[in-house]
Structure 1
Amino acid sequence: MENNKTIEDPKQRIQMIADALGVTVNGLWPLLGYKSNTVISSIMYGKTKSITAAFAKNAIAQLPQINYLFLIDGKLPVLTHGEIQQVQQNMVAPNETISLQQIAAKLDVISKTQIKILKKLEALK
């Protein structure tokens, strides 16, 4: 599928997540940390008309490879990896044990990235 395609139907998104993870829809709820299938069933049977931010945050906290934007807006891809996965996991489920050195290192990477972007913008002028 194309990465610019949007999947509108929440039921279809849940099914696609299950397929991408290699489980059945009924096998998703324990992976997402729920004690029963009520939340998933509500989405699949149309009781819940959309996927909430709370559901998406919980899903990312449990399975960081799931694309947050896919859950919320249906924007492909279904799963993420690498830096995007780490960034979204940090955004919705921040790690409390991050050290000052790690923060400084991340800020350094951000700073270097900003400099690269500014240089590219200058070159375009």
Structure 2
Amino acid sequence: MTGGALPVHLIEAQDPHSSRHPGFDDRAIALAAGTCQQLARIGIWQRLAERATPIQRVHVSDRGHAGFVNLAAADYGLSALGQVVELHDIGQRLFGLLREAPGVTLHCPAKVEAVQSQPGERQPYA
């Protein structure tokens, strides 16, 4: 991420190892091809790709209305339009990457209860 050049502290209310983590349930999400490319550029996609399912075709329609669109990866010279990943699996893998990242400190489970600053200190930004 920052290569250890910038210290990062991640505060997460839930234990990432918990099977009941609300963000890591049994749902699956679709990631666009561009998102997968961005994740690859920062070295993350390589750890997720083995558990992803490529999206070869997409059909878009609205029941009761005329018209539809079919998209096929091959029509655009792509191997896939995107990828489908399971949240539980991707969440565990992403937290694994964070645990290994230099300069990243995880605080889990934890919550921010107050923020205080002193005059002259640099202020965090969002």
With the length of structure 2 as denominator, give the TM-score of the two structures: 0.30
* More strand per residue: 2
Using structure 1 for the length normalisation, give the TM-score. 0.30
Instruction: Select the structure that is richer in helix.
Output: 1
Higher RCO (CA-CA < 8 Å; seq separation 6+): 2
